[in-house]
Amino acid sequence: MTVQGAKHFQDGEIFRLDSNPSCALQVIHTPGYTPDSVIFYDEKQGIAFVGDTIFKGSRGNDQYPGGNGRQLLQSIRKRILTLPDETILYSGHSEETTVDEERRY
């Protein structure tokens, strides 16, 4: 199935929103939840949209097709917890948190 207008992102790609061109989001590949999971990081604003990869006080789920618990933990450790401490993480299903708070877990 192909979704019309679907976009496939590349790791490291930076894109801007039409509605807010000053917002520059970097794509960071974070496999584990699914093989093609990504997060979107705005270095200037110090925020990351992490979807279901990490939650406040918890890691994401790896039970979906292609999910992999080892990859998920590796993505969290190497791709999310290496962002600056004060980076605010917005997940799909929990309160916001920060890299510093989650590093403690």
User: How far, in Å, CA of 29 to CA of 44, rounded?
Assistant: 19
Strands 88-91 and 47-51: parallel
Instruction: For each of the domains in the chain, give its residue range(s) and CATH number, in order of start.
Output: 14-103 (3.60.15.10)
Q: What is the pLDDT along the chain (105 residues), one digit of tens a residue?
A: 445 666 788 999 998 888 888 889 999 999 999 999 999 999 999 999 999 999 999 999 899 899 999 999 999 999 999 999 999 999 988 999 999 999 987
Hey, what amino acid is at 84? P
pTM of the predicted protein model: 0.89
